[in-house]
Amino acid sequence: MDEEQRFKTLRLLEAVLFASETPLTEKQLAAYFPEDADLATQLEALQAQYANRGVVLEQVNNAWAFRTAADLGPDLRREKTTYKKLSKAAVDTLAIIAYHQPVTRAEIEEIRGVSLSKGTLDTLLEAEWVKPRGRRRTPGRPLTWGTTESFLDHFGLESLSLLPGVEELKAAGLLDTRPAITALGERGLLGADAQQGEGETEAGKEEDSLDEQELDSLIQDEFSRSESDGGESRTSIKPWEDGDEPEADEEGSERS
């Protein structure tokens, strides 16, 4: 093979590999060249030409493909913050926790009239807007939930006492006659709860606080529950055993 033919073969080899979406074996490459073409030698020559460039020719098992140089990977990485809109269930749950904290999962479900989905509290925990507050001194020792400083900061509130009351929500057109909203109004949406020690109700005073290690463990359990759960729905609510929280039910299932 003369020099001109070798150069042409090298250019064609480069073009075929560049245009391919997947790595190509020598057998696949041979379909583009004469039978006497020495592809192995040409591949090594092409690999040497691209050795110190931003794109390199790499062998993947028995196939060949162009790849970005490994040392440039960190420089090409870009991080982008994405904002995910809360679902209606998450918004309802957050509102109930804000106005009734400390509140248990069963109380949230009682106010909403439906069971919580597995990911609702996960979403609010991930946003760092709610956190476990302690365990209620009642049978079953249920875990209680409350809002965080991140919640106040995000919504521009100095304290929970600044949460809008029923009349303000009605004037803004944000309050209707749905059962969940009615229950909220009956149970203190006027803001009385928020004015008792930054949202601490009488029931909340009779609870055991959590130390930092137990708090981290409970948050980790909440995040991992969806992965370990088989996804089976339940329609009844049972008290939590000491140290455990019940599995979340599918969103929208009617409670018995």
- Write the CATH number for 192: 1.10.10.10
Number of domains in the chain: 2
Task: Say yes or no to pLDDT of 248 above 90.
Answer: no
Q: Please check whether residues 208 and 126 belong to one and the same domain.
A: yes
Q: Please check whether residues 62 and 120 belong to one and the same domain.
A: no
Task: Say yes or no to pLDDT of 98 above 60.
Answer: yes
Q: Please check whether residues 39 and 145 belong to one and the same domain.
A: no
Residue 50 located in a structural domain: yes
Residue 199 identity: G
Residue 255's pLDDT band (cuts 50, 70, 90): very low
**What pLDDT was estimated at residue 15?**
94
Q: How far apart are CA 137 and CA 205, in angstroms?
A: 9
Residue 244 located in a structural domain: no
Q: How far apart are CA 128 and CA 147, in angstroms?
A: 9
Residue 157 located in a structural domain: yes
pTM comes to: 0.46
**What pLDDT was estimated at residue 218?**
63
Q: What is the mean pLDDT of residues 70-83?
A: 85
Q: How far apart are CA 34 and CA 53, in angstroms?
A: 29
Q: Please check whether residues 123 and 44 belong to one and the same domain.
A: no
The domain of 20 spans: 3-69
Q: Please check whether residues 30 and 140 belong to one and the same domain.
A: no
Q: Please check whether residues 107 and 211 belong to one and the same domain.
A: yes
